[in-house]
Structure 1
Amino acid sequence: LGGRAVLWCVLVAAWEAAWGQLRYSVPEELPKGSFVGDVAKDLGLELPALRYLSILDRGRTHILDRGRTQYFSVHGKTGHLVTAERIDREQLCESVQQCVLRCEVIVEGEMKIYKIEVEIRDINDNAPGFREAEKELRMSEMTAPGSRFPLAEADDPDSGLNSLQSYELSGDEHFSLAVQAGPAGAQRPELVLAKALDREASAFHELVLRASDGGDPARTGTARIRVVVLDANDNAPVFSQAEYTVRVPEDVPVGSALVTVTATDADEGMNGHVKYSFQKVSLKASQIVQLDAETGVIILVRSLDFEEAALYELQVQAEDGGSLLDAVKVTITVTDVNDNAPEILVRSSLSEISEDAPSGTVVALLRVQDHDSGANGEVRCSIVGSPPPDGTKQPELVLEKSLDREKQSNHHLILTAVDGGDPVRSGTTRIQINVTDANDNPPVFTKEIYKVQLLENLPVGSLAFQVTATDGDEGTNAEITYSFSDIAKSARQLFALDSRTGDVKVTGPLDYEEEKYYETTVEGRDGGGLSARVKVHIEILDVNDNAPAL
């Protein structure tokens, strides 16, 4: 080159009238040495006239490098303007719609300065981006549909169609996207609640916000949005059963868990924390069972007694931390255990009975009871048998066989009642019955025939003999009166019978020579009118009471 040229380049934001003798337009991000324009040809200069190239700093606030970076150079042999560096439009012209670099070419021989403007065109080399790739939003499940929530905007440093153009939301039907227009054409995305939330159905909603530019092909950037649904106390506790029914034996140990009621609450935290209490309970039931407020376990605190109460009905309520509640009926049925022995009660009885009482005579009226139920309360008596099928008559103690006081004057009876339980239980009672006498025994003489021998010289008043009879009865029925029932007149004059003792005494002189033999009959009669007779043979024995006679 015969001369030297100088080129100054300046980054500007707008065209000025004093500039623009040459104007070129190139895309950003060209490699170093890329062709911009043919300066020599376009200015009509001879190649040797280009002396040197320099950068001119006009002091613009939008010049990032303050002119220290040389972005272009002139090819000495061709006179072409080429890139001296890779140019990033977004770095040079951030927030500027039109990006222009200004250069000056000085021709030394002509002492002229030629002004060159190079527009740096945007290419779609940047995708829209969000400051936060993930965002969490917290919403109450009671949030009204239609509510709006601003979302972070995406940033795309490109310009024109290459800049951010649209937003799109994907996720589920509960949310939609609205885009509001801001200053200078900015787009402000808003999340819109389209459908009522229900934490119990879904506690989280995962959404994707997509930002797209208008390049070809388009570039996109995404941000994940996680909506956390905060619980509201919109669910009452619900018991697992419509009614709780349990059957327990009456001998279940104190401290046992009889039944557990369970209620669930779909809410969370305190709204889902359930406590149990009695809503309705009788005084008796409150003394028998206790309810654990946290677990819902109903515990036995006092022994059950089927005979005292066979059924307990309770109302249990479950209340959450937000005062919503549910109630359920609990029925506890106590089943019988054979824990009671039968009892035999003597309602009325004869302390004594005549021995001539007929069979079937009622001796005692009994009452047999067993507080148990079913087979445990079915009682069989070992004396008279079971009650009639209708159960309306209590058992009776009756005389089965004839009595005989003379063989047994009293009876000690043990009555036993046995139930049908397993194991079997029994009860007993004692009855003493005295058998009273009936005149069922006639007197019985000790001998079948009394044979008596008397000396004829037996003095008057002497005991000749004694008849004796016994009577198996007692009292007046056994008091015997003796008498002669068949006696000759001659004998009646000689003998006298004591009616009480049966002693026979001589009342007249005996004389062998006049009467050697007497026969009589003695009757013994008891106080009841029964009698017996016995023969008495009296033989008079001779004594030497007479001298011989001449």
Structure 2
Amino acid sequence: MWTPGRMSNAKSWLGLGMSLYFWGLMDLTTTVLSGTPTPPGKLEALLPDKPQSHLRIKRSWVWNQFFVLEEYTGTDPLYVGKLHSDMDRGDGSIKYILSGEGAGVVFTIDDTTGDIHAIQRLDREERAQYTLRAQALDRRTGRPMEPESEFIIKIQDINDNEPKFLDGPYVATVPEMSPVGTSVIQVTATDADDPTYGNSARVVYSILQGQPYFSVDSKTGVIRTALMNMDREAKEYYEVIIQAKDMGGQLGGLAGTTTVNITLSDVNDNPPRFPQKHYQMSVLESAPVSSTVGRVFAKDLDEGINAEMKYTIVDGDGADAFDINTDPNFQVGIITVKKPLSFESKKSYTLKVEGANPHLEMRFLNLGPFQDTTTVHISVEDVDEPPIFEPGFYFVEVPEDVAIGTTIQIISAKDPDVTNNSIRYSIDRSSDPGRFFYVDITTGALMTARPLDREEFSWHNITVLAMEMNNPSQVGSVSVTIKVLDVNDNAPEFPRFYEAFVCENAKAGQLIQTVSAVDQDDPHNGQHFHYSLAPEAANNPNFTVRDNQDNTARILTRRSGFGQQEQSVFYLPILIADSGQPVLSSTGTLTIQVCSCDDDGQVLSCSPEAYMLPVSLSRGALIAILACIFVLLVHIFKTKGIKQHSTQKWTDTKAI
């Protein structure tokens, strides 16, 4: 309906006025008196089928809007409202035309009465409003009686959509033993209905399944724990069903549900327990170190890091013979051999093993100690073992002049088994290819079989075998290292042939040679040689020997003046003696040639028949010789020149 107070708004909408029609649901608070005149030249939007007198209109209505309820299911077209021009006299001369969104498809208008109907089912969630245009034409001439006006038809919401959980189903985790009220997860339901109109979209949450373990906040959808001390080991998985209902949860509201799968995560609230308080195990005495004896297992109802275990040996007489390690994959304790075992020495052991959680939670310590113990009995089983030598290594020193067949060591072995079988001894011949030794088959006496020579082999490393008489496959072995000790059985001698010379003009006491000696022996205190003339040359008038007391000796002339023509070579026998017991000695000969020398002692010739210049001359001798040659050449050339001059002069005279 049009009123004077809305004149300014009417101008902007080109004279199209519209009423709000709520099918009896409007809050009518204002009375419009009948007989109110309609301004000329305006289209009027009238409420359907309502008299113009005593009509009450909602204060907040928008004058250019129609409202129509969605989801109409009747068979007849749904009446929306009426358009009316004040120029319409009811004689059918005015024709109403509708255009815009949905015109002719969704909405139709009676071109005579101006009644608007919806001819399709409307869904607000699909489309909330339509914008249309209306015009009044002169039916006869087609001339517009009113300017075209625009108006809106809004689809009025009804509660036709239930709440939906778009993110469901949900998966959540909460630690076991959590306090009551611990937040688990928040679920959210959405309602496609209009949240601004009524309670159609106001959602209230409730729990249909999952009590008394969990609760849900009716407004926020936050799920919380509702029961104390929920134990994962008793029940781990929970299926909770949450309902969301619109209309604020009132009767007649629509509802939707979702599933929340809640898992209790583990905390360390269970101590480990050994299912057996006693374990019985056995191991062969021949088991190598680090080999496995057996396994123990402490069961823990927790999982993951909370079920991790650490095993230790806390008591027992086998703590030094066995060890225990934790298998991190299966959380079992693996008992292993720590040192060699012997059935004959100890036949059984007892271990007290503890299994404990290394990762503890302080709030659960009151549940008891998080460790448990068990007793392990280990029996050592006998095996047939090879003979054992005592000691396990032999070192023998023997002089090299020991007589053949001398016992140098008693080798001893025994059967470690209770049966104590008889032993037979032998030498591994690959360790003694020269067969210098042999061993008595029954007594184990190790003896020499050949003469020993330290200067040839100073060390021998042989392997002695011990075999059980009743079981030849059981063979033990031991290494015997033999050091051959030196005895003084080699005389000292010159290391090479010594040859010296003496000048004819040598003086008495002149050094002509220094000699040294070698000895194949190796005395403990080192070599000490003594030099002297051999007995047959003790009174030699030509040369003498001076011992330097440092294992060398000097050969000196005893007189002056030697002549090649008299004696060109001397042979001087020198006696060399060691300091061993007994003293051994040898005679070495020094060959001495008599040579002619210059004034500086340089040898010119060592043979009386030699006419050639000596190989080695002094610088003065060479200069003298070269000077003589030079003088001789000058003399020759000078004589030759004189002869040529005389001949030429004689020839010239003859020519004259």
Normalising by structure 1, report the TM-score.
0.46
Normalising by structure 2, report the TM-score.
0.39
Considering Cα pairs closer than 8 Å and 6+ residues apart, tell me whether 1 or 2 has the greater RCO. Answer: 1
Identify, as 1 or 2, the structure richer in strand: 1
